[in-house]
Structure 1
Amino acid sequence: MQKNWWKESVVYQIYPRSFFDSNGDGIGDIRGIIKKLDYLKYLGVNVIWLSPVYESPNDDNGYDISNYHKIMDEFGTMDDLVELINEIHARGMKLIMDLVVNHTSDEHEWFQQARKSKDNPYRDYYIWRPGKDGKEPNNWRSNFGGSAWEYDPDTDEYYLHLFSKKQPDLNWENPKLREEIYKMMRWWLDKGIDGFRMDVINFISKVPGLPDGKIKPGETYASGSKFYRNGPRIHEYLQEMHEQVLSKYDVMTVGEMPGVDVEEAKKYTNPERKELNMVFTFEHMSLDSGPYGKWDLKPLMLTDLKENLTKWQKGLNGIGWNSLYWNNHDQPRIVSRFGDDGKYRVESAKMLATCLHMLQGTPYIYQGEEIGMTNIRFDSIEDYRDIETLNLYREKVIVGNEEPEQVMESIYAKSRDNARTPLQWSDNPQAGFTTGEPWIKVNPNYKEINAKQSVEDPNSIYHYYRKLIQLRKQYPIIVYGDYQLLLPEHEQIFAYLRIYQDQKLLVITNFSEDNIPFELPVDVEFSANDLLISNYEMNDNNFNKFILRPYEARVYLV
């Protein structure tokens, strides 16, 4: 297997609005990130992924970009960003930025021009269609609810928006538009950034004709996803992007790809095809969702999680590359989701980290994960800021007359705002995030859960993450070893082997609050001589037969 720096890296995602506020306006900013770089360097991460800081009206918290070449005033200036790049590089770390090119903001100059007239040169930068029988051009639903089309009275046509109506989709069929994007990417790489995380990049190719989807009973609109996920020209576009831009720099690329399966991911990440380094998959993040999608809650079955992660570990091994994540700005906090954010918060956070970081792939840590931050239960819907959450509440409660308590339970579990509460730096007011009034309320548990306390406590979750990162740098088996699942049918234990050259690694994790007997299967050849890491004090040397304590994790090396 080819060795690469991005395979051996650990990535830390910064959601700038909630990271650290340097000027007291309640909004995290670039200067705030610069001030906290030593905290990240000490943690040991190699790469920082910075969520969007570009100029934006903030309809979707910066994922609606109005100018790719400017920085949002709230976050600082281009000079601040150049300083951030330099300071990151000075500490031996790298920076990747978000590339959001499935859509722009409707306030982007291209769209402002496009809506002026049907023959404007920028018209074809977006996807416009006349109405059909007095209605939208097709029956697709937006990913944020409602129709995926917005009527423009000035030109008597509709434009497509797979997300908010303020996020019109770009028309990648237009070679001029593609060249504009490649030019912009080169501009950023020449500034010194080290790669891109590409937002919903597998949505950029749509099936010609934009056919209607199938409407489920009781719904107004259809999911059009099979007509825009992994569309007919997606590989052609990514190969062109690689040839025009990415091949000219030593960069890391990761594509966010809802609805991608292993076979498609092999194509996207096989280095011989010259597309992307790795993809973000979503399958393991929907295992606690029912048939009606993410808000339809159901308990996680560990056997489903093991089966899914194993499929990806086996499927991409030796062909492409996995990205490993539990958390990001769109997902609830993992310790509240698959762990126990009460009695066993520390143990379960460490266990979940062990399970993920010992897999083959590049691990991603989302801000606050390294101190075990938890989900938030705001008192009122008024305290939420996320457009997807607010749209759901309006659709279900205000329009649909559903019981608010039931809808709020889904929001408590799955709202994107769970990840967006300010990073808890200390037990000072507002968790030390700001001296002002934060843009979104701080989680009240910051007195007990904060970075200051975590850095000072040698047994904290933070120091456990430090050790996991150090082990990855120290042992190539953790990066490059093959994977073999053990006990596939066990409903509480996730155990697996990693195998590399003449070494073996045994990873044993307990996903429950029970004491569970573990016994190494008789057909597994393993004789441990080294306990690499564990989240409990060890009082025995048995690796083949013992009782796993609640949320216990152990890793042995031979």
Structure 2
Amino acid sequence: MEWWKKAVVYQIYPMSFKDSNGDGMGDLGGVLEKVDYLKKLGVDIVWMTPIYESPMDDNGYDISDYYKINPLFGTMEQFEQLLDALHERGIRLIMDLVVNHTSDEHEWFRQARKDKSSKYHDYYIWKDRPITDQQSFFSGSVWEYNEETEEYYYHLFSRRQPDLNWDNPEVRKEVYKLINWWLDKGIDGFRMDVIDLIGKIPEESIMYGEKSHKYLQEMYRECFEGREAFTVGETSFATPVSAPLYSDKERKELTMVFGFEHLGLEEVKGNGKWDLKPLDVNELKQVFLVWQKALHEKGWNSLFWSNHDQPRIVSRMGNDTVYRKESAKMLGMILHGMQGTPYIYQGEEIGMTNVKFALEDYKDVETINMVKEKQEAGWSMEKIMKGIYAKGRDNARTPIQWNAGKNAGFSEHEPWIGINPNYKEINVEEAIKDEDSIFHFYQKLIRLRKEYEIISTGDFELLFEEDRRFFAYKRQADDRTLVVIANFTGESVVCDCTDEITFKEGRVLLSNYDRNSVEKIMSLRPYEAVMYYM
């Protein structure tokens, strides 16, 4: 079995992880200080979001030099120290690869925008006029006027993030060169930002297509063949049909991809991420069922609730007040019991929650653009703020709460973004001291994945399919069965398992309450979850 099938990934957003030099911004020195914490948690891979040179228009996802470390985060020497420190502890490091677009301050674009005859002009996508009415993901048209050449360039994200022209073989050569440079430095792979978009057709507003697969296969041949590298693609448009194409090892594209279908279920369909409706738990269960079935023996799943672009899961789908610990553990068990590679986003392991800042305290470019756009569309400020509180990306970007001291132990200086006021109760120091904490529960989930092969190999069957109170499933491999039963409500409920499970002698592997056995008819407490092996 490939090593990564039993691995767990921890995502670090360096700006908000730990500040070591007192400037209010998290940095590489801060990560270096906490490598033993990562080892204690038990993770196998660290995914580092972008630390390259960047003007930080989109918090580092706008890269101006792929070969340099942003001075905000430290130096290349510190990066190499960190890489060595992780490797010494048996932890691999993957970097974020952002090659759908660059910063408008990248030297390629500087040359491209001032001279049509420059070879770099064709590194980007240009038209004499806006040829579609397509809107960017960050609001406004995808076409931006450039005075120097009297043309429009294409950008799917911020206007300061011009899209690369992947149809140009010279662009692809440059990308493969930088990938190999980092791999030769000793990193263990990449998380690839919006990588399904490299095969877009701007003329038709088509976001992805067969070209994405063609380019990824070429990338594999030029960069990854013969290496034990780990690659995960952010593929927002992937479906249960296309995801196996990316991750089927015979096709030689990627190790796995992220599917996002489960994270759009509270949105009013067709209205974008900010227009909200209540979550239907049965819809959530069906999405996981389809993805588990689609990739079983045909690819590999990435399992995640949270990342730097998503709100905190305990606030989103759990109860972040009365039953914060119980519901955070319940959500962790549901995810970690499935087939795939789990991803833990920093702070998830201690149950960090969403925030409610004043509007002027939000930093994210997407949020700032949205406010203007929705005000012009006639939305009330109450509705706008409700959307921000629920879905704003800054929910995930508040600093890690290390302790109850000044600035939550994140920095001696005022942090670049506000700290969640609940840091005195919710912090790493408290979580490590408390044997019943979410942190210790996550430690156990990580250990179980390594100890029980069925978690990596077993097939998947949904239980209580029509009952919105439960999220429950069965994993089967040979003559072994693993069952996860979770109460997805804040009420005590009676669970009649008679028709769902054929019981054999077994044992409770893990529960978020004090439970030693599973009965055919049992009462489940609010957000109670139990993993049973027989």
TM-score of the two chains, using structure 1 as the length reference:
0.94
> Secondary structure of 1:7's partner?
helix
Matched, 1:231 2:212: no
Hey, what's the Cα distance between the residues in 2 that align with 1:180 and 1:341? 46
Query: Conserved in 2, the CA contact under 8 Å of 1:113 and 1:120?
Result: yes
Equivalent-residue separation in structure 1 for 2:131 and 2:359 (angstroms): 34
Using the TM superposition, give the Cα deviation of residue 401 of structure 1 relative to its aligned residue in structure 2, in angstroms: 4.6
Cα distance in 2 for residues equivalent to 1:309 and 1:287 = 12
CA shift, 1:502, in A, is 2.3
Taking the TM superposition and a 5 Å limit, the aligned residue runs for 1:419-498 are 419-498=396-475
Query: Which residue of 413, 433, 442 corresponds with 2:390?
Result: 413
Instruction: Give the one of 103, 106, 109 matched to 2:104.
Output: 106
Residue of structure 1 equivalent to 2:332: 353
Q: Distance in 2 between matches of 1:206 and 1:450?
A: 43
Once the two structures are superposed, residues 487-546 of structure 1 have per-residue CA deviations (whole angstroms, 9 ceiling, x without a partner) of 1101010111111222110110111001111122436323242110000012x6333210
Equivalent position SS for 1:293: coil
Aligned-pair identity (%):
54
In the alignment, residue 547 of structure 1 is paired with which amino acid?
S
> CA–CA distance in 1 between the matches of 2:319 and 2:255?
33
Match of 2:131 among 133, 137, 161: 137
How far residue 231 of structure 1 moved from its aligned partner, in angstroms, is: 1.9
Residue aligned with 2:10, SS: strand
Matches within 5 A, 1:13-32: 13-32=11-30
Q: Which residue of 2 aligns with 1:194?
A: 188
- Aligned mates of 1:83, 1:450 — CA distance in 2: 27
Unpaired runs of 5+ residues, structure 1, are: 212-223
CA distance in 1, matches of 2:114, 2:395: 40
CA distance in 2 between counterparts of 1:73 and 1:506 reads: 49
Equivalent position SS for 2:401 = coil
Whether the 8 Å CA contact 2:498–2:521 is kept in 1: the answer is no
Shift of 1:8: 1.1
Equivalent residue for 1:504? 481
Instruction: Give the Cα separation in 2 of the matches to 1:409 and 1:337.
Output: 13
Q: How does 1:268-283 map to 2 (within 5 A)?
A: 268-283=246-261
Partner of 1:557: 533
Distance 2:377 2:3 in 1: 51
Residue in 2 aligned with 1:150? Answer: 144
Write the distance in 2 (CA, Å) between the matches of 1:523 and 1:12: 34
Aligned length: 533
Q: 1:521 to 1:287 in 2, by over 3 A?
A: farther
Matched, 1:547 2:523: yes
Q: Tell me, what secondary structure is at the counterpart of 1:518?
A: strand
Structure 2: 5+ residue stretches without partners: none
> Using the alignment, how far apart are the partners of 2:352 and 2:73 within structure 1?
24
Structure 1 residues 79, 487: closer, same or farther in 2, change over 3 A? same
Match of 2:91 in 1: 93
Partner of 1:81: 79
Do the aligned partners of 2:508 and 2:518 also contact (CA within 8 Å) in 1? no
CA contact (8 A) 1:528 1:543 kept: no
Task: Report if aligned partners of 2:463, 2:500 keep a CA contact under 8 Å in 1.
Answer: no
- SS of 1:115's partner is helix
Partner of 2:160: helix, strand, or coil?
coil
Deviation for aligned residue 1:459: 0.5
2:430 and 2:500 map into 1 onto residues whose CA distance is 44
Over 3 Å counting, the alpha-carbon distance change for 1:73 and 1:241 in structure 2 is same
Partner of 2:305: 326
Q: Normalised by the size of structure 2, how large is the TM-score?
A: 0.99
CA distance in 2, matches of 1:534, 1:182: 46
- Deviation beyond 4 Å, 4+ runs, structure 1: none
Describe the shift of the 1:542–1:5 C-alpha distance in structure 2 as closer, same or farther (beyond 3 A).
closer
Give, in whole Å, the separation in 2 of the partners of 1:522 and 1:156. 69
**1:72 match:** 70
Letter in 2 for 1:36: K
SS at match of 1:410: helix
Question: Partner letter of residue 532 of structure 2?
Answer: Y
**Partners of 2:517 and 2:507 in 1: how far apart?**
9
2-structure distance, mates of 1:254, 1:21: 28
Conserved? CA contact 1:206–1:232, under 8 Å: no
Tell me if structure 2 keeps the 8 A contact 1:12–1:45: yes
CA RMSD of aligned residues (A): 1.0
